[in-house]
Amino acid sequence: MAGLLPRLPGGVLTAGRVEVFGIRHHGPGSARALRGALEEFEPDAVLIEGPPEADGIVELAGDPGMVPPVALLAYSPAGPSGAPAGKGDRKAAFWPFAEFSPEWQAIRYGLAAGAAVRFCDLPAAHQLVPPDADEPDEPDEAAEPAETAEDVRLDPLGTLAKAAGYDDAERWWDDVVEHRHEGPSPFPAIAEAMAELRERVGPSRVDRREEQREAHMRRTVRRALKEGFERVAVVCGAWHVPALLAKVPAAHDDRTLRGLPKTKIAMTWVPWTHGRLAGRSGYGAGVRAPGWYHHLFAVPDRPVERWLAGAARLLREEDLHVSSAHVIEAVRLAETLAALRGRPLAGLDEVTEATRAVLCEGAELPVELIRERMVVGERLGSVPDRTPMVPLQRDLQAEQRRLRLKPSALDKEQDLDLRKPTDLERSRLLHRLRLLDVDWGVPAESRSKGTFRETWTLAWRPEFDVELIEASAWGTTVRDATTARAEAMAAGATALPDLTSVAERCLLADLGDALPTVMRALADRAALDTDVAHLMAALPALVRALRYGDVRGTATGPLRTVVDGLVVRICVGLPPAVSGLDDDAARDFLGHIDSVHGALALLADDAHLERWRAALKILIARPETLHGLLEGRVTRLLLDAGRLDDVPARMARAVSVGAAPARAAAWVEGFLSGGGLVLVHDEELLRLVDGWIAGLPDDAFTDVLPLLRRTFGAYAAAERRAIGERVRRAGTGSGPPRPSAGDVDEKRAAPAVATALRVLGWEAP
């Protein structure tokens, strides 16, 4: 390609009046070359590939508060029937810009130079409507094979790279464009190369949407010339350059664009992130290393040396020893690798290899750190306050400023102490946003055992702006929108557990206005639902809500009434509900029993606990109707509560010779499912289990082995090790000797006894 540079004059639609610059989206070399070409051409109108609906807000790009990466967002404010758009019928599209995007540099140049800045792509109102399926692409039989032509159309740079002897299109583009700092403009050569490729593709695979886009670009150029602009610069993807230079009659373009379906859309600017610019995010025009490209654009002078110095600084911040000598040697290695590979400048591959070998001394983990922090270089842009927003977005921004919760593209852990007013309000805001499906914060397991602490992982994603726009149909403030959404969720809930979840989330979000509606629906549903499994599934969320209400100062009187009624109905209905269950149903009820037991322990109501334990004792009083899994588990729960004194006898009966091996295994699994410490500390129970396992016939042992493996495999390693040691000692009759009274040396023990007595607050004799 470099050999083509001197040969082709600028691509001109009307000589001396229009210049078409073919760029690569998000290419720092293209951006730098384009800025220089525009300064030389001095256009009075700049037309840029992008949605024309953004013409009215393009001037915001010149505001000091507009900091890339940012994106234009086009969205449909209503669904097909005029109702608020939901995720199923969402219509939205983004046009991202980074500091190193050529289109961004064209916008900033045009605004600074006083030129008219417009977008020339097919309007978003048409692009958000899928192409008509009745107009399929029809290949030309005389053309090249469709697969080859399609490959060229979809990846023109890959085709050029392959022709130049490269196996990596990005590396080829870096060498011929991105790493060039001097010499003639690359745009004439780009135009010629693309013209050659499009000639090769021919009309074999006509993409209808692409044809429409290019027709609209040509129409926009004609309109600009008709308005009297003398020097028009067009900035578009390199593939489109030949189509814009082609002499296509205006009537042809009018026919192409006539009758296109469209939808109502709105346009705004939103913050974007480098992570969303990366190709790995799924973005079609993404680049693999946005942080590296930003560096190449921002630091054209000695980029390799400055990059490696920055990597060394990052490693030192992580307490890794990296000296200036390391940096010097890494620069030499990167430059040597580039020379050996015939590259004009060390690229990301060479710099990364030098970093791994010298700065990281072969370790991969520090390389991953550099890749995350520098190569991707995650950052979140910002837009000025006067950017068009729905009221809900503005209210959230005000809340973020008031509560000092600044959005960040990087995951950030936030610990909240609910006893502090600011942290409590932060928690309420995050819970409200989750009700609106804006998961800016994701709750994590708190390091504290108390209910007054929460741990969140915060990370802002660009698509949250679309979620907020959709949620604005519920209200103009976060609180109002969440209240309306909670009431709608309660009205639409079809199962009792769904309603209890809504009630819990309302308390977490402090939605006092929604609670009466939710509680009425919950009380009505609970009164009508006779399925004990549904009642048991609903109780834990309500109990958690009661505890959260206590901590957060939220009124929970109506909720307590519902909980009291559910506990009574569960205790009365449990015995008949668990009679004669098969294996699958018994395992489901095992989870329900554990959940209710834990919920009542959390509630700490003595009357409810007594009622629950009485119901459990009724269950094991009739073991012949109870599945072995449930009998074993209920026995364990009552043992832990100190309500059974004949557990060894019960286990002996359960694992006796007369018991079926499958039922005995289920009993043991249920009994031991709460943890293995009972076997560590109760030698009699351990001996019973060991004797039962040892006495199983070979075929029965094979049948119950999976159940035993599942049970014991769930224990912590320390528990398994302790149980194994106890079994080994019991089998050999060995074990640590127990000291007798005659072995104690009272004189030597006296100082230790005196110290223990002082610690306990007692006086030594």
pLDDT at 315 > cutoff 50 = yes
Domain locations in the chain as residue ranges? 18-128+156-271, 301-375, 391-474, 550-731
DSSP at 117: E
Is the pLDDT higher at 510 or at 131?
510
117 beta partners: 46
Task: Report the alpha-carbon distance of residue 508 to residue 432 in Å, rounded.
Answer: 8
pLDDT of residue 678: 74
pLDDT of residue 90: 55
Average pLDDT over residues 458-481: 91
pLDDT of residue 453: 85
User: For residue 130, how far is the Cα from the chain centroid?
Assistant: 27
pLDDT at 568 > cutoff 70 = yes
Rounded (5°) CA angle 5-11-12: 150
At 27 the three-state DSSP class reads: coil
DSSP at 84: P
DSSP 493-536: --SHHHHHHHHHHHHHTT-TTTHHHHHHHHHHHHHH---HHHHH
Is the pLDDT higher at 275 or at 154?
275
DSSP at 45: E
Banded model confidence at residue 650, pLDDT cuts 50, 70, 90: confident
The Cβ of residue 317 has, within 10 Å, a number of other Cβ atoms equal to 10
Each residue's pLDDT tens digit, 215-248: 999 999 999 999 999 999 999 998 899 999 988 9
The Cβ of residue 753 has, within 10 Å, a number of other Cβ atoms equal to 12
Each residue's pLDDT tens digit, 695-724: 777 877 787 788 778 777 777 788 888 888
**How is residue 100 written in tokens?**
């190193």
**What's the mean per-residue pLDDT of the chain?**
82
Residues 6+ apart with CB under 8 A from 709: none
pLDDT of residue 326: 94
**How is residue 288 written in tokens?**
């693999």
Rounded (5°) CA angle 597-599-600: 70
At 246 the three-state DSSP class reads: coil
Task: Report the alpha-carbon distance of residue 646 to residue 694 in Å, rounded.
Answer: 23
Lowest mean pLDDT among 53-67, 71-85, 225-239, 249-263: 71-85
